[in-house]
């Protein structure tokens, strides 16, 4: 895959967007005329591209590391929330409400 001018511009933007001032999503919309979601979709594809790596290996490696850290953090959070196989999703068994004559 050969990089387009937009692909190269995205990599350049990722190299130094914070020095431009303003929220990143606003800068993305102004510079690329893309929604943030579409921009990140394109960026994700670029990060998996050998051509992007050849063009700017430092930026691509940094962004891959960030993506991998976020993925591991999300996975760890999901592992904490998910019950183990065979376990109930509730941490405590549900007690029946008291019947007539029982004191709770």
Can you tell me the distance from the alpha carbon of 97 to that of 94, in angstroms, rounded to the nearest whole number? 9
Q: What is the pLDDT of residues 11-49, one digit of tens each?
A: 999 999 988 888 999 999 999 999 999 999 999 999 999
For 65: left if phi > 0, alpha if psi spans -120 to 50, otherwise beta; the answer is alpha
pTM as predicted: 0.71
Give the pair of three-digit tokens for residue 45.
């594809």
Question: Do residues 13 and 59 lie in contact, with contact meaning Cβ atoms separated by under 8 Å?
Answer: no
Q: What is the pLDDT of residues 70-82, one digit of tens each?
A: 999 888 888 887 6
The total of other beta-carbon atoms located within 10 Å of residue 79's CB is 9
As a whole number, mean pLDDT of residues 2-8 equals: 96
User: CA torsion, points 24, 25, 26, 32, in degrees to nearest 10?
Assistant: 100
Give the pair of three-digit tokens for residue 83.
């019950």
């Amino acid at each position: 895959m050969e990089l387009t001018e937009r692909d190269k511009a995205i990599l350049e933007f990722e190299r130094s967007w914070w020095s431009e001032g303003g929220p990143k999503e606003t800068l993305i919309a102004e510079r690329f005329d893309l929604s943030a979601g579409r921009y990140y979709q394109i960026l994700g594809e670029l990060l998996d591209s050998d051509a992007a790596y050849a063009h700017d290996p430092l930026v691509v490696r940094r962004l891959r590391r960030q993506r991998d850290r976020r993925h591991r953090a999300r996975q760890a959070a999901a592992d904490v929330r998910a019950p183990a196989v065979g376990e109930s999703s509730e941490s405590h068994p549900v007690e029946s409400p008291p019947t007539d004559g029982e004191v709770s």
